[in-house]
Structure 1
């Protein structure tokens, strides 16, 4: 916090600082006297009618009455990650989008509306990288109509926690009644450490196309239609990994999309009775080695924030959080 020469705290932010990263201290609503202050750090996304909106790295928006402020200042952007290849948010957003290509899409200014009959939010949500070319309210009206025409819920995919991300858009969606349903981490790391892990890859089979056995282990739908196969097969260079099992479904599976210097890992799943045997590690190692043969050097993956087991596995392989992404859903009751 900022203090004057006499030791008093000062509020050194104004409405002109909207869009900047700030740190504020305010009087707490409740709590003992020893804990009467609450600190918040995030992007100042709004300051209207005596209320500040600050969007945290997690995507949560905090409402702060101006009258409760006791100190505040602009702070530097979040420090660069110590691990992982250098990459901008926009580069990773576009790379990850190419790994989950929709069945149909339509531009709205610099936004892209995407649909794939409801299979995976990543292929059935708006990718808002830039200006929609119309006021936000008009853009969201068009978004709702476009998805309604396809009998799909309207989703907007946003991101927080990295330079160039969309804290302000998150705050606006929340203000307009859109509900944040899912938060996930996009993690990056070097590809060599993944390929060099000590794992038995002898049982891993790699293929260019997905088969029925692989789909039986990938339990994300009741009956996989052609749109599922089309999305899974999309991407610049796609590989499917399978570890055969004793029954109809494989013991483990995985998918990798190679895109220039990037290799994206997804759909890594292991049969419940065969977990903790190194199969997920073996699948990723085999896919990483194939990706390196194609010239890739960096890796990315996406994992939901509440998936503790997967997050521990990826951290052990050197993956660090680059940014968080969120899916906001329009509610007709809002």
Structure 2
């Protein structure tokens, strides 16, 4: 028997095995599991299950943000079961970490050239070099209502000739599923989704490689010759060189003057070591060069007292995901970049 009765009806499977709706609009912000009826004309399963954070419940429609950041719209009339569920279970391997810790560590490893506070939010700019260095990190309270905060964000980036981006996260305790839903409600568009993965550092350092790896404090011309972003500016060099303790790794090319066979970057920050810009000459892939670079950087990070590692990988980069999984990394949370909506006349909010 399916119980009905409006917005405040309950969602769960009862002790007798019957399906019941036992969540209400008061559960917005909690992690829920719901089952809904599919449209009768759609072939396939009769029901669809959704687990995520209940972002809103207005006008007979539920918005649930899944771990990967996808927002699902569900008609209240289609609900047949559901309940509030605990947060995702703790990871079974690798270091323990909160989202807030990793968010602050990751922003220290890729510093903007300019930043400003809006309450507890951090506005970051670096002349457009990467979204990470040119987006808002919205941890905490901006100190003013959301619409006013978004207008201030658009104005701040518009004064610098940049599109306004907000970097959000989903899938871990303390992440920003509710903010994602509010941004989408206001027309902000999600352009990029990636994941932050973490793992133990020592197993990476234990991996041996036969190739010579050169470590340096600065990105020299040889390193930049292999870096995927060509024509690196002075601003980009400042971002690349930012962080508490930065190391650049290079596997020399096969001949004098040739671009490196592989490169990588590591930032050591307390117990954490970050890996980025791990790139290999396409003609020399499948030789283990990426592992060799990361192992050399990991050994240096261990010498400086680090014990844990993190990196970022895009959701569609299957090769990198397989490599990192084999090294003991696992996803901690997803992160997303939302871009401001265009104004009706084709311009952009905050431009001047």
**TM-score range relative to shorter protein:** over 0.9
Report the equivalent of 1:236: 244
1:35 alignment partner, SS class: coil
1:168, distance to aligned residue in structure 2 (A): 0.4
The superposition leaves residues 26-58 of structure 1 with CA deviations (integer Å, 9 ceiling, x where unpaired) of: 111245687221111100010111111000001
Report the equivalent of 2:67: 57
The superposition leaves residues 56-87 of structure 1 with CA deviations (integer Å, 9 ceiling, x where unpaired) of: 00101111111111111001111111122011
1:265 alignment partner, SS class: strand
Q: Does 2:158 match 1:148?
A: yes
Question: How many residues align structurally?
Answer: 332
Distance (Å, rounded) in 1 between the aligned partners of 2:208 and 2:153: 47
Q: Does 2:12 match 1:8?
A: no
Report the equivalent of 2:335: 325
Report the equivalent of 1:213: 222
Distance (Å, rounded) in 2 between the aligned partners of 1:90 and 1:286: 28
Distance (Å, rounded) in 2 between the aligned partners of 1:7 and 1:234: 57
Distance (Å, rounded) in 1 between the aligned partners of 2:305 and 2:16: 60
Cα gap change, 1:30 to 1:181, in 2 (>3 Å) = farther
The superposition leaves residues 226-278 of structure 1 with CA deviations (integer Å, 9 ceiling, x where unpaired) of: 00100000000000000111344211100000000000000000011011111
1:4, distance to aligned residue in structure 2 (A): 3.5
1:331, distance to aligned residue in structure 2 (A): 2.4
Distance (Å, rounded) in 1 between the aligned partners of 2:17 and 2:333: 37
1:206, distance to aligned residue in structure 2 (A): 0.1
1:328, distance to aligned residue in structure 2 (A): 0.7
Q: Does 2:188 match 1:178?
A: yes
Distance (Å, rounded) in 2 between the aligned partners of 1:197 and 1:114: 36
Q: TM-score, length-normalised on structure 1?
A: 0.96
1:185 alignment partner, SS class: strand
Distance (Å, rounded) in 2 between the aligned partners of 1:199 and 1:14: 57
2:237 alignment partner, SS class: helix
- The answer to whether the 8 A contact 2:20-2:80 is kept is yes
2:63 alignment partner, SS class: strand
Report the equivalent of 1:190: 200
Q: How does 1:75-94 map to 2 (within 5 A)?
A: 75-94=85-104
RMSD: 1.4
Cα gap change, 1:4 to 1:281, in 2 (>3 Å) = closer
Distance (Å, rounded) in 1 between the aligned partners of 2:265 and 2:43: 54
1:333, distance to aligned residue in structure 2 (A): 4.4
Q: TM-score, length-normalised on structure 2?
A: 0.92
2:128 alignment partner, SS class: coil
Q: How does 1:25-174 map to 2 (within 5 A)?
A: 25-30=35-40, 35-174=45-184
Structure 1 runs (4+) greater than 6 angstroms displaced? none
Cα gap change, 1:225 to 1:36, in 2 (>3 Å) = same
Report the equivalent of 1:269: 279
Gaps of 5+ in 1: none
Q: Does 2:212 match 1:203?
A: yes
Gaps of 5+ in 2: 1-10, 345-352
2:301 alignment partner, SS class: helix
Distance (Å, rounded) in 1 between the aligned partners of 2:226 and 2:297: 18
- The answer to whether the 8 A contact 2:13-2:82 is kept is no
1:7, distance to aligned residue in structure 2 (A): 3.7
